[in-house]
């Protein structure tokens, strides 16, 4: 599972900017929202898109999932459980890098 998470992580780091919003809560909301919608899409479920934020998450997730399917053939055959585990690992790595270990002090600055 580790190499699969590595592959997806490298893709997201190279191609996606949504994990680098300006505040901790923005980053967390985007990472959780887009990864959650991607899990739904990969599982064949229609993700909820009732709010503007959800629609944005779905749009970003659709592009990412399409690229995942074309670049990583293993994801097309993966079970829902495996997809959930791998994308959960991806979410954890993104959160660790973009929030937990970030040196950007503006993320939690009280005046912003």
pTM: 0.89
Residue 30 within a domain: no
- For residue range 50-70, list pLDDT tens digits in order: 999 999 999 999 999 999 999
Residue 75 within a domain: yes
Question: 65 is in which domain, residue-wise?
Answer: 1-17+46-101
- For residue range 75-109, list pLDDT tens digits in order: 999 999 999 999 999 999 999 998 887 777 777 76
Residue 41 within a domain: no
Residue 53 within a domain: yes
- For residue range 13-25, list pLDDT tens digits in order: 999 877 667 788 8
Q: How many domains in the chain?
A: 1
Rounded Cα gap, residues 84 and 38, in angstroms: 9
Residue 39 within a domain: no
Q: What are phi and psi of 50, to 5 degrees?
A: -85, -30
Residue 80 within a domain: yes
Residue 4 within a domain: yes
Residue 38 within a domain: no
């Amino acid at each position: 599972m580790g190499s699969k998470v590595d592959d997806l992580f490298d893709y997201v780091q190279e191609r996606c900017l949504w994990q680098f919003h300006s505040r901790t809560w923005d980053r967390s909301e985007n990472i959780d929202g887009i990864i959650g919608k991607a899990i739904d899409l990969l599982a064949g479920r229609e993700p909820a898109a009732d709010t503007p934020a959800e629609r944005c998450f779905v749009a970003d997730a659709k592009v990412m999932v399409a690229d995942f399917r074309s670049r990583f053939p293993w994801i097309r055959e993966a079970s829902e459980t495996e997809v959930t585990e791998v994308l959960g690992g991806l979410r954890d790595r993104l959160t660790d890098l973009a929030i937990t270990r970030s040196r950007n002090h503006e993320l939690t600055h009280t005046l912003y």
